[in-house]
Amino acid sequence: MEKQVSIVVAASGEVKDIALSQGATVKEVLNEAGLRGYQLSRKGGEPLSPDTDLYSEATDSEKLYATPEDVSVGGGGSAPLSKITSALKKIADYIISKYKLYLERFKKQRFFFIKRVRLIRTRYIKQLNTASRIRLERKHKKNSVRIVGKDKEYTYWQENGWRKIGNEYRGFFQTKFGKWRGVIAENYRNDYSFYIVTPPAILRESSHWECFTHKGNGLYSIHFSHKPKDISSGILTVEQLITESFEEGRKGVSDVS
Amino acid sequence: MFLKFFRRKKKVEVISAHAKKKPEIVTYLVSSLFLHENFDLMKDDSTETFYYVTGPEVCGVKILDKIEKFGYEERSGVFAKAVTKESTLILIKLDLHGHRLWGYFHSHTQPGVSGTGPSWVDLRLRDTLDRGGHKAIGVIFSKDGFIRFFSPKPFKIIIYGEGVVKINEELYHLVKI
């Protein structure tokens, strides 16, 4: 069974969703994600060793941080003798480690090994600042009435009152337990980021709470383990998730707006 | 046969149209006062000083206005290496606060325009950050107030305030007021 992890390139806004098969290591993940020269760590900053079995180490949908391994700058000049010897030692160590690795693979007859890591997609998280949010709010109020052509086919998001404003869709995630304001940002063609404003408190107790990341001012981004095919299926997934959380009956109806 | 040839030709045209797409120009805004303050932090040091810079983003313009310092694992007149764990924690902190890394400032101990040339170590860090999708710009301060901005992607620098003379798109010089 495959596991999925999200590799967040810390402070860059880039997120890489990776599917792991059994035995996948940190090194394989970094290679697949194209993050040569990076290391993986959890929120605490403790790095994971390159040979760590990430499949058994990480939980499904876990968020891991990728940060540069060697953060150094130099003004040039002639390198001291100690640096030259240490550099030569590093090169020798690298060659020896590579030789050992290939020898090990050859012994295990895994020279042409099966790919255990797959890059699903790369996302870029946009930061919504307050100014643009207010601007969108004003636009939204202005365009409260919109006439849609008769021949246009209605989809779930349109039927449920969602409206498109520029590259964003605004509306409500509606369930029998209440409705919650939502924003869907179109990153690029057929790739969307889903947000919910002040989600119901019951979600915090649900196992899905990990998928919600607070972005400030009550705005939460929603992470999907499987990318929704379109906006409507994304909305339906969120609505189903909220309904399920309420039906689990841990807390009852709350925060219904 | 003719149709086959025609179709092939069209495909080539489509590919070249994609290739012509203009690269995005990243714009950074920095205050002259902030640059002077950074220079004051670095000028008296006989070793290289190095830190991260972050700030807000307004309408796509990245504002360089906050210094994030870390400890050094190695430091000399020609080299500075950050403590990896401290650098990692800073980047994670920025990410959790919804901030991005906009720049990495460091000083060179040589004077003049030639003192601002990025070394292979600087370029290696630049490429590493670029691989991770960072839009961080490298900034080098020379001993006598020359400043070089460098990035693998096209960029534009807006200097707010007085006290900085523009030499070219990448090179500036701090002047006393």
Q: What is the pLDDT of residues B6-57, one digit of tens each?
A: 455 554 444 444 555 567 899 999 999 999 999 998 887 789 999 999 999 9
Count of A–B CB contacts within 8 Å?
137
Regarding predicted confidence, which is higher, A175 or B150? Answer: B150
Closest partner CB to A72 (pick from B80, B91, B92): B80
Please answer yes or no on whether A11 and B121 come within 8 Å at the CB atom.
no
- pLDDT score for A229: 75
User: Which residues of chain B are within 8 Å of residue A73 when distances are taken between CB atoms?
Assistant: 48, 50, 79-80, 104, 106, 119, 121-122, 125
Q: Which long-range contacts (CB under 8 A, 24 or more apart) does A198-202 make?
A: A198/A255, A198/A257, A199/A242, A199/A255, A200/A242, A200/A245, A200/A246, A200/A254, A200/A255, A200/A256, A201/A251, A201/A254, A201/A255, A202/A245, A202/A246, A202/A248, A202/A250, A202/A251, A202/A252, A202/A254
Residues of A in contact with B81 (CB under 8 A): 70-72
Is there a contact between B84 and A70 if contact means CB atoms under 8 Å apart? yes
Q: CA A185, A190, A196: angle at the middle one, nearest 5?
A: 30
Distance CA B75, CA B50 (A): 10
Average pLDDT of A193-198? 90
Q: What is the DSSP string of B35-67?
A: HHHHHHHHHT-SS--EEEEEE-EETTEEEE-EE
Using a CB-CB distance cutoff of 8 angstroms, which residues of chain A are in contact with residue B137? none
pLDDT tier at B134 (50, 70, 90 boundaries)?
Answer: very high
Evaluate whether B132 touches A38 at the Cβ level (below 8 Å).
Answer: yes
- Please compute the mean of the pLDDT values over residues A153-171 and round it to a whole number: 80
Q: How many CB atoms lie within 10 A of CB A146?
A: 8
Contact A185, A126 (CB under 8 A): yes
- The 8-class DSSP code of residue A159 comes to H
Q: What is the pLDDT of residues B84-122, one digit of tens each?
A: 999 999 999 999 998 999 999 999 988 999 889 999 899
Beta strands at B50-55 and B66-68: parallel, antiparallel or unpaired = antiparallel
Please state the pTM of the whole predicted model: 0.64
Q: So what's the pLDDT on residue A150?
A: 39
Under 8 Å between Cβ of A162 and A179: no
Candidates A229, A226, A221; CA nearest to A125 is: A221
Topology (CATH level 3) of domain B27-174: Cytidine Deaminase; domain 2 (3.40.140)
Distance from CA of A229 to the nearest CA of B (A): 25
Predicted pLDDT at B135: 94
- Determine the Cα–Cα distance for residues B147 and B161; give it in Å rounded to an integer: 16
Predicted pLDDT at A210: 80
- Show residues of chain A in contact with B132, CB under 8 Å: 9, 12, 14, 35, 38, 66, 68
Query: Which stretch, A14-28, A142-156, B1-15, has highest mean pLDDT?
Result: A14-28
